[in-house]
Amino acid sequence: MIYQVSLIKDHCRPSSNSGIAAIRAHQAELETQGIRLYGIFAGLLGLATNEIYVVTYSPQPHSLQATVTAAGLELEASHEFLPTARPTEHAPLTKPGIYVFRWFKVKNTDVKAIVELSTTAWKSFEAGFQTQVQGLFAEPESAAVFGQMLLITRYADLSVWEASRHPSDEARENFQRRHALTIEAKPIATQLAL
């Protein structure tokens, strides 16, 4: 399955509400093209008030450019990803909460090790907090030295995110080893638009 993460902006309004409504209005049309909506995410920290992430998935490469243009919005950026350890089932997200998009710049040769360290850490991490890792994605295979990965994690609320900064020793050790393989990381907090 191929996932597309699109950063969409409404240059005519100060909030994301109309952008969310416009994407929802085109959802049935997208589904006739075999494109399913994984989720629409409004920014809490790190996105402008009139920006949203729209995450879609399909068996084929796809773009939201035509839909975004028809809705009178702007496609600011788009990233194609493949799921690694998660998600294992492809279905729209439905659980309310805080969804943190953690963007990683990595060496492509380290992707496999990052996935292994992450899945090991998740066992005690998820058991210790009201949190669930929704997806860990990597770019399609490339000969480039550097690539991008994306981790999407759901937290019950921001207090859970804050508490999770102090995981168990086992999770902390694996996260530190993962961090050592990361060139840079940029977390952005969002809320799932239901």
Range list for CATH 3.30.70.3090 in the chain: 2-80
Q: Which two tokens stand for residue 89?
A: 């089932």
Q: What are phi and psi of 182, to 5 degrees?
A: -100, 130
Which pLDDT score, from 0 to 100, does residue 190 have?
98
Which pLDDT score, from 0 to 100, does residue 174 have?
87
Query: With 90 as the cut, is the pLDDT of residue 141 above it?
Result: no
Distance CA 170, CA 141 (A): 30
The pLDDT tens digits for 150-189 are 999 999 999 999 999 889 888 889 899 999 999 999 999 9
Q: Which residues contact 4 (CB under 8 A, 6 or more apart)?
A: 55, 56, 57, 58, 62, 63, 64, 78, 79, 80, 81
Q: What are phi and psi of 170, to 5 degrees?
A: -60, -50
Which pLDDT score, from 0 to 100, does residue 131 have?
95
Which pLDDT score, from 0 to 100, does residue 176 have?
93
Region 13-41 average pLDDT: 96
- What secondary structure does DSSP assign to 109-169, as a single string? GGHHHHHHHHHHHHHHHHHHSSEEEEEEEEPPP-SSSEEEEEEEEEESSHHHHHHTTS--H
Which pLDDT score, from 0 to 100, does residue 194 have?
85
> Any idea which fold 2-80 has?
Alpha-Beta Plaits (3.30.70)
Strands 2-9 and 182-192: unpaired
- Angle, CA of 17, 18 and 23, to the nearest 5°: 105
* CA atoms lying within 13 Å on the CB side of residue 97: 20
> Any idea which fold 85-192 has?
Alpha-Beta Plaits (3.30.70)
Range list for CATH 3.30.70.100 in the chain: 85-192
Region 32-41 average pLDDT: 97
Arithmetic mean of pLDDT over the chain: 95
